[in-house]
Amino acid sequence: MRKDYNSIVVGCGFAGAVVARELAERGEEKVLILEKRNHIAGNCYDVCDKDGVLIHKYGPHIFHTNIERVYQYLSRFTEWYDYSHEVVANVNGQMIPVPFNLNTLGMVYDKEMAESLEKKLIETFGEGSRVPILKLMEQEDEDLKAVAEYVYQHIFLRYTMKQWGQKPEEISPEVTGRVPVLLSRDNRYFQDTYQGMPLHGYTPLVQEMLSHPNIDIVLGADAKDYLKLENGDIYFQEELFKGKVIYTGPLDEFFNCCYGRLPYRSLRFEFEHLPVDSYQEKAVVNYTVSEDYTRITEFKKMTGQEIKGATTIMKEYPIPYTDSEKEIPYYAIINDENLKLYQRYLELVKEYPGFILAGRLADYKYYNIDAIVDRALTLADKLILDK
């Protein structure tokens, strides 16, 4: 392998791909990407299955953002399929819109009651507001308490127990706050200005981003076999490396989990290939009061692919994370204790200014795609400016 790279990027998800492209193009650097898996695009990887259905191997990914520069940046590498994501919850067979909104209210209460509750909700919080379930539960008013209790019991409790193994009030409020009660009739899951799917998929988008003469990629390459940190210096294939390493993998792993494993929640995906045109009414149906899986995704409904007589669905089962060889670390479990452990690993990195962290794993954060693209662009700006 060549040794004259200016920068080495570990991981080829959105974090790694954006930084690599920017350093290669704007920074005019020779960049090497090391990716452990045998494909690019990280957890956003998509691929056609045996029936030609474009599936997301690591969970359904819908792009949405209010960040203009992120949308403009990604639009350099893809056109978009105009898709607004809608989700329904299967509550004892009744399909109701999630986030819980004024349409949902009208479906679960009789007309008179729904109208009076709507009036009270709007008087209290304002039309169009987004009210986190935990905030709604703090209300003194008996009617508002009753709505909160309904939403808590029918949308949040069981789903959150499955997803996290904990009750909504036991996890970081930011997590349930992602799906607030919405005081409008907008049935979309996201209210962002820009939303959609890359027209040909995420993998072609990332492929396009990486197609630059200054970028080399090695797949099936675990960074730990190539890079070593020792006494303030970075070594690449046993030789002193003076460039930068941008590391987007799990921080604990790089240090052999010397302080213990950073806690994550993992997932098991079950794919089913069905000989029908359509399986369910929306791309995603959440199972909020029953089943062991949290949701079923039907991919064709998200991508707009037209395939007759075949569809692919995926059931999502949350599972504990015990070991990176056995499970994939999907969701950082954000709490004070875990953040303290993360801080201890950060202390180890301080000695190596050329070893730079970015990404949902390296930052131990719950990032959406747009947030990680924004983070990677900002980091690249700084690295190029500092040269």
List residues near ligand UDP by CB under 6 A.
89, 98, 155-156, 159-160, 163, 175-176, 178-179, 286, 288
The strand order across the sheet containing 227-230 reads: 227-230, 233-236, 239-241
Tokens encoding 220:
């099936």
**Residue 61 binds which one of ligand UDP, ligand FAD, none, with CB within 5 to 8 A depending on kind?**
ligand FAD
For ligand FAD, give the closer residue by CB, 44 or 144. 44
Partner that binds at residue 227, options ligand UDP, ligand FAD, none, CB closer than 5 to 8 Å by kind? none
Assigned token pair, 111: 């007309």
Q: Which of 5, 7, 9, 11 binds ligand FAD (CB under 6 A)?
A: 11
Options 5, 8, 9, 16; binder of ligand FAD; rule CB under 6 A: 16
Site for ligand FAD in 37-96 (CB under 6 A): 37, 42-44, 59-63
Q: From the CB of 156, what's the least distance to ligand FAD, in Å? A: 18
Which segment (34-42, 112-120, 144-152, 202-210) binds ligand FAD by CB under 6 A? 34-42
117 binds, among ligand UDP, ligand FAD, none (CB under 5 to 8 A by kind): none
Nearer to ligand FAD, 31 or 148 (CB): 31
- Min dist CB 228 to ligand UDP, Å, is 34
Q: What sign does the dihedral 230-233-237-238 (CA atoms) show?
A: negative
Instruction: For the CB of residue 34, give the shortest distance to ligand FAD in the complex, in Å.
Output: 5
d(CA 15, CA 358): 7
Residues 229-258 interacting with ligand FAD (rule: CB under 6 A): 248-249
- In the complex, the smallest distance separating the C-beta of residue 356 from ligand UDP, rounded to whole angstroms, is 26
CA 187 from chain center: how many Å? 21
Q: Is 222 a residue that touches ligand FAD (CB under 6 A)?
A: yes
Report if residue 330 touches ligand FAD, rule: CB under 6 A: yes
Where in 349-368 is the site for ligand FAD (CB under 6 A)? 359-361, 367-368
Q: Which does 98 bind (CB under 5 to 8 A by kind): ligand UDP, ligand FAD, none?
A: ligand UDP
> Of 70 and 144, which CB lies nearer to ligand FAD in the complex structure?
70
Binding site partner of 10, from ligand FAD, ligand UDP, none, Cβ cut-off 5-8 A by kind: ligand FAD
Q: In angstroms, how far is the first alpha carbon of the chain from the final one?
A: 25
Compare residues 63 and 355 and give the one whose CB is closer to ligand UDP. 63
In the complex, what is the shortest distance from the CB of residue 121 to ligand FAD, in angstroms, rounded to a whole number? Answer: 27
Using CB under 6 A, which of 89, 197, 372, 380 touches ligand FAD?
372
Q: In the complex, what is the shortest distance from the CB of residue 231 to ligand FAD, in angstroms, rounded to a whole number? A: 21
Where on the chain is the footprint of ligand FAD (CB under 6 A)?
10-16, 34-37, 42-44, 59-63, 222-224, 248-249, 267, 330-331, 359-361, 367-370, 372
